[in-house]
Amino acid sequence: MKYIIFVTTFASICGRVLPLIEEKKDKGEIVIVATTDQLENFFRKNTDFKVIRTKVHPDLIDQKTKHKIFYNIILSKIEFNNLFKDLKNAEIYFSNRACAVVIFSYIKKLKKRNTVYFFGNNTNKNAMEFPVENGLRAFIMRLIVRWGLGIETYVRTRAGVPFWTLDERYFKVIQKIKSPTESKDINRKYSNRLDILNGKNILIAYNDSISCGFVEENEFINNINRLMEILNTIAPDKYTIKAHPRLNKFYGKMSEVTDVIPSYIPLQLVLGHDWKMIIGFDSGSLISSAEQTNADVISLMDCLRYNDQYLKKKFRDNLVNNSQNRIKFLENIEELKDIIE
């Protein structure tokens, strides 16, 4: 049996994909379909399985390439024929239902001669729901992917940016199965032993909030610079940075740091290290940090002025509700000095 596993997000690696791989690896051939450079890097460097890298933008477009929407639709049809046209009698697995509409169109075509399973966790306690958008823009977006890619979607909005989400009609002939359970033993097996962690006990779980449109550039850089000044004064050799795999552009004094964990490594795979403190802003990785470590887990999101207060509340509620109150929220970065000392 051949098992084809489509991976479109880093968040799914430890919680879903690796447990599925462990379950299937002795039963047949596993092929990973990676949709980004970072995902490809992770699976090529950390597994021995065959990796297929799709090249068409999985989300069809981003904010900078909106003008390529019809060009990418054409490219997607060519890419499908090149990669998957002859695939049959395989088991196809995917675990996400938002954004990656090009990949969802591939999976829909593959279900004609293969068995498709959705192993996303529909009761994911850490999932965040964003508002559904109705109106002309959403109507046009849905129409384009229905006409161009043959899939039914609806549109949600995050920080004013719309994204496609699969309509329930997509799943009519797709089997939904229970998502595998994340295992510390599996994470430990795939965990990275990095020399860069030697002597480090403070981890910064970082993501670029400017590119997301969450905060203004000056606001974010001022806070980043103050964080770096405090760490460089009190614990200059004790910290390292784990950036989000996509939102990994550094700003201000953070761009001067050289001791950083490669962004293609999921944060969960370094949580087995003996961390004293894990610092972030609004990243959901703080929840995993609270669950899997004994470190002080600290959010600095209350130190920032968000452009969208509704979105900030969603992020904060998500961290509070899913961390059993293990995350400490600081109102001023200066409070870090007392905690570190």
Domain count, the chain: 2
- Residue 126's pLDDT is 44
How far CA 227 is from CA of 120, 199, 221, 233, 335, in Å, comes to 36, 20, 10, 10, 11
Predicted confidence (pLDDT) per residue in 35-72, tens digit: 999 999 999 988 999 999 999 999 998 777 778 889 99
- Residue 160's pLDDT is 77
The answer to whether residues 90 and 118 belong to one domain is: yes
The answer to whether residues 18 and 43 belong to one domain is: yes
The answer to whether residues 186 and 227 belong to one domain is: no
User: By residue range, what is the domain housing residue 280?
Assistant: 195-340
Alpha carbon distance 260, 242 (integer Å):
6
Predicted confidence (pLDDT) per residue in 10-27, tens digit: 888 888 899 999 999 899
Contact present, 205 and 267 (Cβ < 8 Å): yes
For residue 211, the domain's CATH number is: 3.40.50.850
Task: Name the helix (H) or strand (E) containing 118.
Answer: strand 115-118
**Residue where a domain stops, chosen among 171, 190, 209:** 190
The answer to whether residues 176 and 201 belong to one domain is: no
- Residue 51's pLDDT is 96
The answer to whether residues 186 and 288 belong to one domain is: no
- Residue 122's pLDDT is 44
The answer to whether residues 64 and 96 belong to one domain is: yes
The answer to whether residues 7 and 154 belong to one domain is: yes
- Report the DSSP beta bridge partners of residue 206: 243
The answer to whether residues 219 and 161 belong to one domain is: no
**Residue where a domain stops, chosen among 146, 167, 190:** 190
The answer to whether residues 177 and 51 belong to one domain is: yes
How far CA 329 is from CA of 224, 300, 306, in Å, comes to 16, 6, 15
The answer to whether residues 181 and 276 belong to one domain is: no
**Residue where a domain stops, chosen among 174, 190, 206:** 190
pTM above 0.95, yes or no: no
- Residue 125's pLDDT is 44
For residue 161, the domain's CATH number is: 3.40.50
Give every strand in the sheet of 239-243, ordered side by side: 260-261, 239-243, 202-206, 277-280, 296-299, 327-329
Low-confidence ranges of the chain (pLDDT < 70): 121-128, 341
Residue 254: both structure tokens together: 């953070």
Which residues in 206-224 are b (16+ Cβ under 10 Å) and which e? bbbbbebbbbeeebbbbbb
The answer to whether residues 247 and 180 belong to one domain is: no
- Residue 228's pLDDT is 92
The answer to whether residues 161 and 204 belong to one domain is: no
